[in-house]
Structure 1
Amino acid sequence: MSTSSARQPLQFAYWVPNVSGGLVISQIEQRTHWGAEYNRQLAKIAEQAGFDYALTQIRFTAGYGAENQHESVTFSQDLLSHTTKLKVIAALLPGPWNPVLAAKQIATISHLYGPRIAVNIVSGWFRGEFKAIGEPWLDHEERYLRSEEFIRCLRGIWREEHFTFAGDFYRFRDYALKPKPLNPLPEIFQGGSSRAARDMAARVSDWYFTNGNTPEGVAKQVADIQTKARQQQHAVKIGLNGFVIARETEAQAQAVLAEIIVKANPDAVKGFQHEVKNAGSASPEGEGNWAASSFDDLVQYNDGFKTNLIGTPQQIAERIMALKHAGVDLLLLAFLHFQEDVAFFGREVIPLVRELERQEEAAAVL
């Protein structure tokens, strides 16, 4: 268990549906919309419900229901303008972005809305997307090396008065960014479940996102990354993906899950499966985020069903605590009907989690 997991309240984030198609590859009704007005209202609901972060997605090409995609940084700025406490994480893809553009964009947003903007560095897994937009496709290790340089440059530009860097992908000579972002500086998130992803997070990232998993599975990842982080004298916190189906009864929740899978779009899921398996097999260990994912798992993009946040509020709260004990600091959550389900989660689940945390803290004092 990480120290932060043991002592700090678990934090909650939600996937911003700034991409059409919802968060499952299924024909089931999803009362969720990718548009601006829906997402502005959702951000206000999430803030009121007790969520700490919102994560915008970055897509450049259609696929798997994502015909429409709003750009992440601009969309994040809009959500910040309609909230007062919520932190918004903008996804950035090295290649289309370079570090100086990102550093300047995020610094300006920090001054406009206060230090509530963060970034998620996405190394990329979909070769077809890179080809479509004319970006070179690097191999697995090179993509993570580039992302690491990107993070080092972002942090250096934000921290140092005059930044100099000579890497394989980026070079800076005595560069001075003014104004710097407001303090505290923007947090840097990254994702991935491969060895290269964990190693990178252990060296440079503030937060590490991983795909949905059981408490036992995520505990192994946490142990690996935290051991490596300590060796690097670095601190990193852990975020875990999950898909929530909270209903009054377990039977109702399981019925929703069954309907999602029955109504899955098989061609789209198999296409997604083909691409992610190719991406994983390109890693030196021949694995990746979706190495052990079944067809049913892949109906939810990031293995969210594996986290098993499906049932009554009490069941979900207890499972959340098990994940916290495994070393998770933040849950990144997706829902079927975002506005209604986020409100329900905030009203019925988060208070139970906070009560369980208080009980454990009181027991530890005795």
Structure 2
Amino acid sequence: MAVSTNASEPIRFAYWVPNVSGGLVISKIPQRTSWDADYNRRLAQIAEAAGFDYALTQIRFTAGYGAEYQHESVAFSHALLAATSRLKVIAAILPGPWNPTLAAKQVATIAELTGGRIAVNIVSGWFSGEFRAIGEPWLDHDERYRRSEEFIRSLRGIWTQDNFSFRGDFYRYTNYTLKPKPSAGLPEIFQGGSSRAARDMAARVSDWYFTNGNTPENIRAQVDDIQAKARENGHAVKVGVNAFVIARDTEAEARAVLQEIIDNADPEAVKAFGHEVKNAGKASPEGEGNWAKSSFEDLVQYNDGFKTNLIGTPDQIAERIVALKDVGVDLALLAFLHFQEEVQYFGEQVIPRVRALEAARERRAEAA
């Protein structure tokens, strides 16, 4: 059985930044969540006070699936960093529209301005229509991950070496020196995906690997696989899992909210999203990706967040989070329906329960 690579460390918490409209569900249910800057600055402050470690901004270039309006991720991340003092913000970056030179310089500058509180999430791409719309080539599945790996290797080289040279199929550098380099430690590099190519890339080059929501048993299988390969490569990688949280005073209340979200789903948008992401997965050599086994209900939440089952009372959710840690999860990446008030409730009611459970386990381990 897999165990956390950092069993004695507390599990960390991140939240999806709603910097695109429509929230984090493809549903017409009324939401008290806004994509605007003032709402998100206040949300970042609430999350920081609640005990969250990271915020993850999203990258979208075209409308669809309810996301009619989008703020650019790197600039928006900097705005959230300026409104906070401890929170780390992970900016989503998409190879193709970005190249490593621009990304390395942007992030190094933001790191200098914020004491190193910026990180990046390298998104290999799943939305072919978006690439076509902006005139970017749409590569085959595994080619997208090969490009992302070269992107990551280039970022690290630029950030750590003078006279950096690199010869890849997608990026090339000759005696390139960036100054100033990040001075507060290297920015952390996150990536997502569940395909063979995604896991292998993480096991070679990424600091963090995000996977879609799932059961502890299925997550354990992914963790076992990626950690075994990382050890073979002499590499260390941490694991984050996506989850949609519905925390209420009773389980019945929480389940009723879930049902209301699904009942108000936009069927055409959900089916279109499912068609797009499942086609992207089918293009992988193994013929499946993140959403291969996702039902209509699962797809109402973009990253299978309902599957993780953080739906119920604070006690139930805390116990399920610790169960995720037991199978090797280091970070829970969370989404909510009404972000500001629910992030605050999660910080008041769930995180202290998680910390109490972790402390009790530590005491039992020391006693044993």
**TM-score bin, normalised by smaller chain:** over 0.9
**Does the C-alpha gap of structure 1 residues 2 and 149 become closer, same or farther in structure 2, counting only changes over 3 Å?**
farther
In structure 2, the residue matched to 1:16 is 17
Partner in structure 2 of residue 145 of structure 1: 146
CA contact (8 A) 1:5 1:325 kept: no
Amino acid at match of 2:188: E
* Residue 2 of structure 1, CA deviation: 4.3
Q: Deviations over 1:253-297 (max 9, x none)?
A: 000000000110000000001101110100000000101100000
Unaligned 5+ runs, structure 2: none
Aligned length: 366
Residue 39 of structure 1: how far off its partner (Å): 0.1
* Structure 1: tracts of 5 or more residues without a match: none
1:1-366 aligned within 5 A: 1-366=2-367
- CA deviations on 1:168-192 (whole Å, 9 max, x unpaired) are 0000000000000122210000000
Specify the code of the residue in structure 2 equivalent to 1:227.
A
In angstroms, what is the RMSD of aligned CA positions? 0.6
The answer to whether the 8 Å contact 1:192/1:198 transfers is yes
* 1-structure distance, mates of 2:263, 2:39: 27
SS at match of 1:13: strand
The CA distance in 1 between the partners of 2:6 and 2:358, in whole Å, is 11
SS across alignment from 2:111? helix
The one-letter code matched in structure 2 to 1:306 is K
Q: CA contact under 8 A between 2:4 and 2:329: conserved in structure 1?
A: no
Deviation at 1:5, TM superposition (A): 3.6
Residue 319 of structure 1 and its aligned partner are, at CA, apart by 0.4
Cα distance in structure 1, aligned partners of 2:38 and 2:341? 15
Whichever residue aligns with residue 358 of structure 1, its letter is A
Q: 2: CA distance between counterparts of 1:216 and 1:288? A: 18
> Secondary structure at 2:26's aligned position in 1?
coil
* 1:144 aligned partner, one-letter code: Y
Q: CA deviation at 1:3?
A: 4.7
Residue pair 2:4, 2:325 contacting (<8 A) in 1 also: no
Paired amino acid for 1:23: L
State, as a whole percentage, how many aligned pairs show the same letter.
Answer: 74
- Which range moves more in the overlay, 2-11 or 186-195? 2-11
Does the aligned pair in 2 maintain the 1:5–1:328 contact within 8 Å? no
The alpha carbon displacement at 1:4 in A equals: 3.1
Distance 2:164 2:105 in 1: 14
Q: Map Cα deviations across residues 112-151 of structure 1 (whole Å, 9 max, x no partner).
A: 1111000000000110000000000000010000000000
Report the Cα distance in structure 2 between the residues aligned to 1:356 and 1:209, rounded to whole angstroms. Answer: 24
Shift of 1:86: 0.1
Instruction: Read off the aligned partner of 1:83 and give its amino acid letter.
Output: T
SS in 1 for 2:292: coil
SS at match of 1:349: helix
Structure 1 Cα separation of the partners of residues 199 and 249 of structure 2: 37
